[in-house]
Structure 1
Amino acid sequence: MEEKQNVLVLNCGSSSVKYKVYEMPAKQLIAHGYLQQIERDQYEDAIRSVFDTLKDIPIHLVSHRVVHGGETFKESVCIDENVKAKIGELARFAPLHNPINLIGIEVAQSIYPDVMHVAVFDTAFHQSMPPSSFLYALPYEYYEKYGIRKYGFHGTSHRYVMGRVEELLERPKEQLRLISCHIGSGVSITAIKYGESFDTSMGMTPLAGLSMGTRSGNIDPGIIPYIEEIEKTDTAGAIGILNNESGLMGVSGVSNDLREVMAKAKDGHYRSQLALELFTTIIHKHIGLYLARLNGVDGIIFTAGVGENNPIVRELVCTGLEFAGVILDREANRSCKGEAFISTPYSMVKVMVIPTNEELIMATDAFELSRIQSDCST
């Protein structure tokens, strides 16, 4: 019988810490928690408090979420000093996240110095994209010298739901063309071709792509200097507006929470109605784009908080895709709880709701690495 190992999954965000402990290989969740609204100067203490709650649970492996792995990391890796140095270098692409991810790694290594630590990268899944998907139409030397390209995010989530589709459709991923819609406070859509990311909506940073809770998504780049001029701010100030004051919040003027925006829209609030229409239309357009890029698809997946729990958004997004073989079962969509098919039996494209589980992917990656690599030198 395979030896049991407890894997601590640590997800350090810009102002939060999520953690789960899985017993592997049984994939049994044995502990979890979530700390929010953490100030930067309190971050190390917050992480240590997580470990205090786990002092009675033996930890054999620690799996760390790292937002940006650039082109260096195409898969999860055992953390050593070289890996940490590279994560630090890549902070230029993710200044709010990679430094925090490194704090989590350093503190965890000080608490658990004798166990393997593994880094799982949001960007890794998307490193299979062809240049036609990841290059920007800029001077090519900007890519060669400075790494300016699309990297994509939410890769661990897209990987998880792809694996579940394999099981639900009883077909190997190598035979499937899928569109995965991760719709939460952050939103990304990925075109998956035969088990690999082929294109994705987020770019060099998570600001690009679709409209989100507070992020603008794609805009005319000429707007940025204009915002600087009219708001009497600098580039950092303009990017702050695009990151924190735009999206659902900016258009509705009500909230970055789609539930609140929808409630106001139902009451006749014009800007909330407009925010909802814009939010769903942009998702709809990206699905149309990826239908073309993949030359049709076998399945469309909705996941993350909004994707899993909001039938109105799913219906608005799917309406108008009937020409491509997407036939939504409106009753199944409305009554859906958890994992389910929401397309009709006659729909050529299977539409599915699949709750994501990024932490389970992270635990599985760490466990698999531990079986082939005995330790990491720190």
Structure 2
Amino acid sequence: MWILVLNSGSSSLKFAVVNPGSGEVRLSGLAERLGSEAASMRMDRGGERQTHALKGGSYAQALDLVLAELGRLGLWGQLRAVGHRVVHGGERFSAPALITPEVLEAIRTCVPLAPLHNPANIAGIKAAIRAFPDLPQVAVFDTAFHQTMPEVAYRYAVPEAWYRQHGVRRYGFHGTSHAFVAAEAAQLLARPLTELKLVTAHLGNGCSVCAVLGGRSVDSSMGLTPLEGLVMGTRSGDVDPGLHDYISRQAGLSLTEVTAALNRESGLLALSGLTNDMRELEEAAARGHAQAQLAIDIFVNRLARSIAAMAVSLGGLDGVVFTGGIGENSASVRAATLTRLRVLGFAVDQEANGRAVRGHPGIITAPDSPPALVINTNEEWMIAREAQGLLNSD
């Protein structure tokens, strides 16, 4: 049986048909720029790629194309469920949930906590219910994995009413990725996950680190929203909270405009003045572009500092895991980060680190060093497994 996994963005729809047992992908693709004249869908099937124009296309139209392809491949009758990535589940959801009207309403109540993400997730869910009315729909939450964080990790030092009445606390994100790579790391290290103290670093356009103790999240760099923590592609990460009021007064911006700038105009893009793409920044830095090099250095410094902080939350450290687009592909970022972590005993094996950039996950540190690993994340497979597990338990 197969699970259709959907990840709905503000103007995109990523999908994959995944075998939850083996991780095999029968069909995958990405619809981009939905709602615009430039909308299109890319489908990948067994090494074959097709692109379809979707001028002005919506989630529903994109799913119609997926449905037609499923029929052509004879997969329609083999689907067991649709699994949805949902970014924010607040405090209510600590595990996947079968989507009912009540669950959908609960996801809607979290929109103020993730205004860029949850509305798109809801739109994708509604379109999928219309397209696949007879299939169970399962929500898998980015925040659920982090619901095991203790109160000392998730509470802010703010008025109690803000937490009790408005849910102001740290939630953490990228939970499916952190959970997946922590389990994979345990296998590579040939040790039980329940015995390990790991820091997992999900590094892409969005970035976060997580302290995983015995397979459970006990701390995360992200907080109330995905804006807290590390420097990211276009997100600032940590800033002084007083910045909002200061720049609002100095630049004549509303608080909404300040927050939008911190989300979309900051991070690597702002520091370099060039791009939010780490590959392009590394190329520019190699040509002598000073601002590109500064952006990389700040990114690495914040990352190393945060990994060290997570070691404190764990009470020790058995290994670090790099994953995500940057974590899996940038040998130089990994090496620079581990060099800054020499205080914790890390030493890079340059040859192993270089091999890992070519798609060979594994340990990239010297024999006498604590292990640092590169592991390819697979959030689609994790979502399929979570959906399957929920249906089996029911």
Output the TM-score relative to the length of structure 1.
0.94
Percent sequence identity is 41
Q: 2:188, 2:362 within 8 Å by CA — same for their partners in 1? A: no
Matches within 5 A, 1:196-215: 196-215=216-235
Partners of 2:320 and 2:372 in 1: CA distance: 5
Match of 2:243 among 220, 223, 232: 223
- Which one of the candidate residues 354, 358, 361 is aligned to 1:339? 361
Change (3 A) 1:362 1:264: same
Partner in structure 1 of residue 50 of structure 2: none
Residue 135 (structure 1) shift? 0.7
Secondary structure at 2:34's aligned position in 1?
coil
1:106-164 superposed Cα distances (whole Å, 9 cap, x missing partner)? 11111211111110000000000011111111012211111000101000000000110
Q: Distance in 2 between matches of 1:158 and 1:124?
A: 11
- Other structure's SS at 2:25 match: strand
2:17 matched residue in structure 1: 21
What is aligned with 1:282?
A: 302
Q: Which moved more, 1:216-225 or 1:315-324?
A: 315-324
* Counterpart selection for 1:122 from 128, 142, 158: 142
Distance 1:97 1:209 in 2: 18
CA-CA distance at 1:24 after TM superposition: 4.1
- Paired residues of 2:301 and 2:340 also in contact (CA < 8 A): no
Which of these residues, 67, 74, 91, is aligned with residue 71 of structure 1?
91
Q: What is the rounded CA distance, in whole Å, between the counterparts of 1:47 and 1:89 in structure 2?
A: 25
Q: Residues 139, 24 of structure 1: CA spacing in aligned structure 2 closer, same or farther, 3 A cutoff?
A: closer
What is the aligned length? Answer: 368
Separation of aligned partners in 2, 1:328 and 1:18: 35
- CA offset digits 1:293-341 (Å, max 9, x no partner): 2222111000000000000000110003233232221121122233111
Is 1:242 aligned to 2:238, yes or no?
Answer: no
Letter in 2 for 1:55: G
Q: Does 1:272 align with 2:292?
A: yes
Gaps of 5+ in 2: 37-55
1:52 aligns with 2:68: yes
C-alpha separation in 1, matches of 2:238 and 2:222: 9
Distance 2:257 2:380 in 1: 34
Displaced runs of 4 or more, over 6 A? none
* Structure 1: 5+ residue stretches without partners: 374-378
Residue in structure 2 matching 1:364, options 385, 389, 393: 385
**RMSD of aligned C-alpha atoms?**
1.4
1:327 paired with 2:343, answer no
The two structures have a TM-score, normalised by structure 2, of 0.90
